[in-house]
């Protein structure tokens, strides 16, 4: 059975999509595992960055039907398998109304044997889509920026995760918080460091010691629809993601 990893934080622009792509690409390229990407964000940023396109077959259909057609996933020219998003995901509340609506993704992924890992990018919100993602997942990774407004929102995320663990997925493991877009010139104040560790404790998880530095290569790679490992293996952020993934791999490959 495929192991499922969700990248989540309801705060916008904290590096979810970038991290989801880096995690999935690293697992497939460096560990030679089969990865299926699911783009659950109506913005379609992961779909774009992976060079996939809009398609009639998309993650809304997966949510609607509670079934997945692995053979209908797009195979990109770089060799990544993607089920793209659709702007219609905005209407998901009208589609998912019945009892058990939290379990549609879990049901869909339950029989998935063609892949070793599923990596899911989620929208900047806490709604039925993110609940579905957390309910279907073995692991969650939380990208966050080390600023006070970003971190304040994590308390609410923590409550959602607790609810999911209590009602729909008791085995969910939050691997950790990843500090992204980190500016090495800015000094983390003691107050902020405390907020970060308190937040992690609240979520019964850790902050990965490996943070991701800010690097122009990230934006360039996305604009050119390249993954950062093949676009620029020497950039700060690429090396940081590589080192982070070595830590994450230990946690998920047991």
Ligand X SMILES: Nc1ncnc2c1ncn2[C@@H]1O[C@H](COP(=O)(O)OP(=O)(O)OP(=O)(O)O)[C@@H](O)[C@H]1O
**Angle at which helices 154-167 and 128-135 pack, to 10 degrees?**
60
Nearest distance, CB of residue 179 and ligand X, angstroms: 10
Nearer to Mg ion, 1 or 90 (CB): 90
Residue 100 touches which member of ligand X, Mg ion, none, C-beta under 5-8 Å by kind: none
128: Cβ–Cβ under 8 A, 6 or more apart, which residues? Answer: 92, 93, 96, 101, 102
Among positions 196-225, residues that touch ligand X (CB under 6 A) are 212, 214-215, 218-219, 222
Residue 218 touches which member of Mg ion, ligand X, none, C-beta under 5-8 Å by kind: ligand X
106 binds ligand X (CB under 6 A): no
Nearer to Mg ion, 19 or 81 (CB): 19
Please report which helix (H) or strand (E) contains residue 49, including its range.
helix 45-49
16 binds Mg ion (CB under 5 A): yes
Nearest distance, CB of residue 182 and ligand X, angstroms: 7
Print burial letters for 139-168: b (CB count within 10 Å at least 16), e (below 16): bbbbbbbbeeebbebbeebbebbeebbeeb
Residue 18 touches which member of Mg ion, ligand X, none, C-beta under 5-8 Å by kind: ligand X
Kindly write out the interface string for residues 29-58 of this chain, putting x where it contacts Mg ion by CB under 5 A and - elsewhere.
----------------x-------------
Burial (Cβ within 10 Å: 0-12, 13-18, ≥19) of residue 178: buried
What is the DSSP code string of 12-28? TTSSHHHHHHHHHHHHH
111 binds ligand X (CB under 6 A): no
Catalogue the E-assigned strands of the chain: 3-7, 35-39, 74-75, 81-83, 117-121, 139-144, 173-179
Residue 104 touches which member of ligand X, Mg ion, none, C-beta under 5-8 Å by kind: none
12 binds ligand X (CB under 6 A): yes
Residues that bind ligand X (CB under 6 A): 12-18, 41, 43, 45, 124, 180-181, 212, 214-215, 218-219, 222, 237
């Amino acid at each position: 059975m495929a192991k499922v990893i969700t990248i989540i934080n309801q705060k916008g622009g904290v590096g979810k999509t970038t991290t989801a792509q880096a995690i999935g690409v690293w697992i497939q390229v460096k560990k030679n595992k089969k990865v299926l990407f699911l783009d659950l964000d109506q913005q379609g940023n992961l779909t774009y960055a992976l060079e996939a396109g809009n398609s009639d077959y998309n993650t809304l259909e997966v949510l609607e039907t509670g079934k997945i057609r692995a053979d209908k996933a797009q195979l990109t020219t770089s060799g990544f398998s993607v089920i793209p998003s659709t702007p219609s995901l905005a209407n998901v509340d009208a589609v998912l109304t019945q009892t058990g609506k939290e379990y549609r993704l879990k049901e869909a992924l339950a029989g998935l044997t063609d892949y070793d890992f599923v990596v899911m990018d989620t929208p900047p919100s806490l709604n039925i889509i993110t609940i579905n993602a957390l309910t279907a997942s073995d692991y969650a990774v939380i990208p966050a920026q080390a600023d006070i407004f970003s971190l304040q929102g994590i308390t609410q995320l923590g409550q959602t995760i607790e609810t999911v663990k209590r009602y729909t997925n008791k085995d969910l493991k939050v691997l950790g918080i990843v500090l992204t877009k980190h500016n090495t010139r800015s000094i983390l104040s003691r107050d902020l460091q405390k907020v970060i560790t308190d937040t992690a404790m609240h979520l019964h998880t850790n902050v990965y010691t490996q943070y991701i530095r800010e690097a122009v290569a990230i934006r360039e790679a996305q604009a050119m629809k390249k993954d950062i490992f093949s676009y620029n293996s020497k950039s700060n952020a690429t090396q940081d993601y590589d080192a982070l993934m070595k830590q994450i791999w230990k946690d998920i490959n047991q």
